[in-house]
Amino acid sequence: MTDLYDAGRWRTWEEFEKHVVSGELRESHTLELKRDDYSSGESGKKEQAKDIAALALDGGVLVIGVEEDKTTGVAIKASPVALAGVIERIDQICASRISPPLRVAMRDDLRSPSAPSTGVLIIEVPATGVPHMVDHRYLGRDNRTTRPLDHTEVVRLLAHRDLDTEQVNKELDATSALMDEAGMSASRLIITATPIPMLRRDALRDQLAASGTASWFNDRMTAAAARASAARADSEAMARLFKPWTWMDRSNGWGVRRIPGGAALRFGSDGNTPFVIEVLESGGARFVADFVTQVYKDRYSGTETKVLYLDYAMSFTCEALAWIAEVAEQAGLRGTYGIGLHVGDLAGSVRAPTNSIEETRLHVPDKTKYRDDSYRQILLATGADLRGPLQPLLDQLFGQLLRAMDYGDPLRQR
C-alpha cells in the first residue's frame, strides 16, 4: 500500500500511470483519491474544504484525477481533470473556508500527453496536529472517510498542542545549556526547529552518515542562501530592514563534525565561536549567533549604552528559516515544525544607531530601552509555510520585539 511518504512523488506522467495500474495505489488514512475535480459551486467547495481539513490532522495527500474502486479504494485508472485556475481556487478555499486556515503544497505539472491542459492535481496537506473546522465542525479522518470530531477528541488534540509548545521550549533551554558549555556569551540568538510529530528519528541518518557530509552542508548552505536572498528581494519591508547576510560570507568555518544525534558546523573567529549550525538525524535543527547585543561607552561622558542589532538578528533568522525549509525537504518531512526563537542579554538595550557618526556618541537616553532580559517566541509552521514567503513567519517571531523597540509593525502582512 502506498502511504503518505510515497503518494504524489511521481516525476513523470508515465511513472504515475504505471503506479496506478500496479494495484498498489490505495486510499488510506493519509491518502484520498478523487476521480473528478470538485464542482466550482458552493457544495463542491465545501466538500473539498472538508477533505483537506480532515487530512491536516495527521497529514496526507489528496490526488485529484484518479478513478478508484469504491469498495476497496484501489486506484483503477487515470482520469485527467482540467487544471486551469484550480490551484488559485484551492488556495482560496484553504484560506477562507477552513479554520484555522491552511497552507498546502500543490503540483499540477503531471499533464496528460494527449491533452496537456488536463492532468492530475496533487495536494500535499501538512500534518498540523490540531483539528481544523469547516462549517462550525471539526473534522478528522478514519481509514478512508472524513468524519466530524467529537468534543472529547477536540479537547484532547488542543491540549496536545500545548505539549508541543512545551517541547519546543525544552529544546530552546537544552540548546542554551549546550552553548553555555561551548563558552558563548549570554548575548546570543538561538533558533531551534523540532519536527511535530516526530514520525522518523532517522530521516537524515544516511545523509549525515555519509563521508561527504561537508559537501551536503555546503549544498544546503548555498540553497538556503539563495532562498533567503529571494525572500528579501520579494519583500519591500525585508529589503529595508534586513542586512545582506549569508552563511557563505563566514568563510572561516571550523568544519563539519559529528555530534550526538547529528552533525554540526561551527564558525570561529579570534578563539570564539560566533555561529553554529546543527542538523539532527530526526530532521531537527539548531542555529546560534553570538553577540546580538554590544555595549558601547560614550567617549566623552563614559556613559555605557547597550545596543541590540535587530537587523543582524532578523537577517540571521531569515537564513535559518531557509535552512529549515531545505532540511525539511531533504528529510521528506511533510508535517509541522515547532520553531523556537530566544534572544538573550536584552535588558536595557536600545535600537542600533543608524549611522557611524552616532556610533561614536551612543548616549541616547530618549530611546526606548528593552525591559526584560530575554525575548522568546514559538511558532508552528508547516512545510508549505516554510516554502512560501518568509515575511509572515518573521513577523510572528519578531513582531512583538519590533513593537517594543518602537519600530512599529513593518513586517505585518497587509
| pLDDT tens sequence across 182-234 | 888 899 999 999 988 666 788 898 888 876 788 888 888 889 888 988 888 88
**Which pLDDT belongs to residue 383?**
77
Residue type, 387: R
How would residue 129 be classed by pLDDT, with cut points 50, 70 and 90? confident
How would residue 359 be classed by pLDDT, with cut points 50, 70 and 90? very low
* Cis geometry, peptide bond prior to residue 100 (ω within 30 degrees of 0): yes
Taking the CA of residue 251 as centre, how many other CA atoms within 13 Å lie in the half-sphere pointing to its CB? 1
| pLDDT tens sequence across 370-382 | 889 999 999 888 8
**Which pLDDT belongs to residue 252?**
55
Which residue from 198, 99, 94 is spatially nearest to 139, judged by alpha carbons?
A: 99
Q: State mean pLDDT over 383-405.
A: 88
All three cell numbers of 282:
530526526
SS3 state of residue 253: strand
Are 402 and 409 spatial neighbours (Cβ–Cβ below 8 Å)? yes
Phi, then psi, of 230 in degrees rounded to 5: -65, -40
Q: State mean pLDDT over 83-103.
A: 91
CATH of domain 13-149: 3.30.950.30
Q: State mean pLDDT over 249-275.
A: 73
Q: State mean pLDDT over 352-371.
A: 59
What strands lie across the sheet with 132-134, from one edge to the other?
A: 132-134, 137-141, 146-148
Neighbours of 251 (CB within 10 A): 7
Most confident range, picked from 228-237, 298-307, 404-413: 228-237
**Which pLDDT belongs to residue 60?**
87
**Which pLDDT belongs to residue 131?**
87
Please check the confidence at residue 9 and state whether its pLDDT lies above 50.
yes
Phi, then psi, of 309 in degrees rounded to 5: -95, 85
- Which residues is 111 bridged to in the sheet? 119
Residues of the chain with CATH 3.30.950.30: 13-149
Give the separation between CA 383 and CA 274, rounded to whole angstroms. Answer: 28
How would residue 1 be classed by pLDDT, with cut points 50, 70 and 90? very low
Q: What angle do CA 125, 130, 133 make, to 5 degrees?
A: 80
DSSP 8-state class, residue 10: -
Q: By mean pLDDT, which of 3-12, 214-223, 268-277 is the weakest? A: 3-12
Whole-model pTM over 0.75? no
Taking the CA of residue 194 as centre, how many other CA atoms within 13 Å lie in the half-sphere pointing to its CB? 23
Quick one: CA dihedral 201, 203, 204, 205, positive or negative? Answer: positive
Residue type, 268: G
